[in-house]
Amino acid sequence: MDAAALPPLAASAGDTAQAAGIVAASVAAAAALVVRSARARAAAMLGALVLAVAVLLGHVWSTDQVQTLRDDPGLAAALAAAGLVAVLVLGWLLARYPWLLPPVAAAALPFRIPIDVGGDTANLLLPLYLVVAAGAVAYAIRARSDGEDESDPGILEWVLGAVLVLYAAQAAYSSDVDRALEQVAFFYVPFAVLFALLVRVPWTARLAAWTLAVLVVLAVALVGVGFWEYETRRLLLNPRVINANQFESYFRVNSLFFDPNIYGRFLTIVMIGITAVVAWTARTRVALAGALLLALLWAGLVLTFSQSSFVALLAGLAVLGAFRWGAGRALAATGAVALVGVAVVLLAPGSVRLDLDSNKSVQDATSGRYDLVAGGMELFADRPVGGHGSGSFRREYRRKENASDERATNASHTIPVTVAAEQGVIGLVPYAALSVAALWRLAAHVRGSPARAAVAAAFAALLVHTLLYAAFLEDPLTWALLALGTGLAAAPDAAEP
């Protein structure tokens, strides 16, 4: 690779320190995935979280957002003490009852809180971060008292660790080190620790069912909020969608999420889990209850107008149908639905905002993603080997396309394109390896188990969703599904209905 083709390395001492901190936190998180010793794993988990917090504090300490804490050390100390007490209390509880971790984590999965970071507003999963930190403390307590519990990592764990470290390393020549730092500190490190914790939960089919039940209750409540938003024509969150709704002929809801598409993704995953219960149950009442829930969640999904979520749901249901009734029947049913979709486009293109005689309509029908994908491919063509550096898509796209804030975004809405633009072939190879290893891990252990089939189908749907929208490893659902599938593969009763 021609060194002249890469952007200059981070010149300032501050950027260099940030890049070093990113690498250190990512290496610790990767170690939590692959080390064999329980005590070493516990140390790596806690070290990764502490490093991530330290790097993040260094990143925001001089900004206006934390001026109140800088000016009032007593307040800062009180908040830190309160957070530490909460983590320790919840950690003690999880150490006594390890089976509580999955339902508690599931209950925290959807809730994002807007926080000003580095001049931008980040929607952070603060409740989930609390659960992850407490889980790491609980694991450390158990590792110390129970002794050494060695386990051998598989290919998936090694690939995940390599992806984390590579992303951090490629931040060194990124034009947006701050963005890469936030990705690592807010998403990659805590979610890697979450994966390492969930994999080692004593999974059973019953625990998986209780975890699904928590998600179903959340989904029903969130759909209720969405119905209220649609009825009152008021969104609680997301100013961008609020503005867009004023100029469109339809009204999109996002419930308590900051994005209709992420809300739709969540509903899609839950619907696939319910469908698995309906498909395998022999009890009429269970099937009827599941059908009613699916109808309710489908109505909520329709109000998101999330095209990517509809496609992801179809893909996930096709995979689930293949596990339950065979690939032939699943392909036939999927083909029939696809033909109906093609007929709708040809006979009533206006229903999907598509004018077949207009190139501009493609851009409109894809909500601006066509230009983003095209721009991302141009960025990849500029630096095909190493890319422009981790987290750089937004800045490089704006620079190349001279795009306004309204047109630019954090990603291309197609994860492979984002990876190609930011990390080049060097990043695409491990991304492809991760996708293959994940699908192999989840699909290889189905063996007629509805729980395992549901997880594999849900992950397939999520993977399809990332091809049409952003957020892959930035979504805790990705890590949770991988961990659940891995844990169920070793569960002795996971094949029970």
Query: What is d(CA 236, CA 253) in angstroms, rounded to the nearest whole number?
Result: 9
Cβ count near 331 (within 10 Å): 13
Distance between CA atoms of 401 and 408, rounded to whole angstroms? Answer: 9
* Mean predicted confidence (pLDDT) in 337-349: 61
Residue 415 one-letter amino acid: I
More confident position, 425 or 490: 425
pLDDT per residue as tens digits for the range 368-421: 577 788 888 999 999 999 999 999 998 888 888 776 554 445 566 789 999 999
pLDDT in tens, 160-181: 999 999 999 999 999 888 899 9
pLDDT tens digit string along 226-243?
999 988 888 877 666 655
Evaluate whether 300 touches 267 at the Cβ level (below 8 Å).
yes
Which pLDDT value is given to residue 13?
A: 57
d(CA 256, CA 183) in angstroms, rounded, equals 22
Share of the chain above pLDDT 90, in %: 54
Share of the chain above pLDDT 70, in %: 80
Which of the four pLDDT bands, split at 50, 70 and 90, describes residue 8? very low
pTM for this prediction: 0.88
Task: For residue 17, give both structure tokens.
Answer: 């320190």
For residue 465, the model assigns a pLDDT of 95
Q: Phi, psi (5° rounding) for residue 203?
A: -70, 145
Q: Which tens digit of pLDDT belongs to each residue from 446-466?
A: 877 899 999 999 999 999 999
Query: Is the distance from CB of 257 to CB of 237 less than 8 angstroms?
Result: yes
* Average pLDDT for 76-89: 88
Listed range (166-170, 359-363, 478-482) with the worst mean pLDDT: 359-363
Given this model, what pLDDT does residue 458 score? 97
Report the C-alpha gap between 119 and 66 in whole angstroms.
Answer: 11
Residue type, 292: L
Least confident interval from 97-111, 120-134, 326-340: 326-340
pLDDT for res 409: 58
Report which of residues 19 and 7 the model is more confident about.
19
On the question of pLDDT at 494 being above 70, the answer is no
